[in-house]
Amino acid sequence: MKEINYRKCIACGKIKNKIELVKITCEYRTKDIMIQPDNKTFGRSCYICKDELCINKALKRGKIFKILRVKSIENFDKKIKAVLN
């Protein structure tokens, strides 16, 4: 049986099945921000709904970067919104 993992969206606070969320990880060595990283990527992570409203909320005032404790990244909004398409 497949295990269901639940995670909380940092924008709306709802708890959802991991597959309904976008995972963002700040790789612990390189500090690269990875969108939907593979299982071999370790670092500080957060989850956001695959929803433009939640993504916009997470990007507002750099909330997501504060959570990941990194500096803001140029064009990150475009990169993360590409996941929605």
| Binding residues vs Zn ion (CB under 5 A) | 9, 11-12, 49, 54
Least gap, CB of 76 to Zn ion (angstroms): 17
Please compute Rg for the chain using Cα positions. 12
The residue (of 14 and 31) whose beta carbon lies closer to Zn ion is 14
Least gap, CB of 53 to Zn ion (angstroms): 8
Closest CA to 59 of 31, 84, 30, 28: 84
The residue (of 27 and 81) whose beta carbon lies closer to Zn ion is 81
Least gap, CB of 9 to Zn ion (angstroms): 3
The residue (of 27 and 83) whose beta carbon lies closer to Zn ion is 83
- Which residue is it, tokens 């612990």? 28
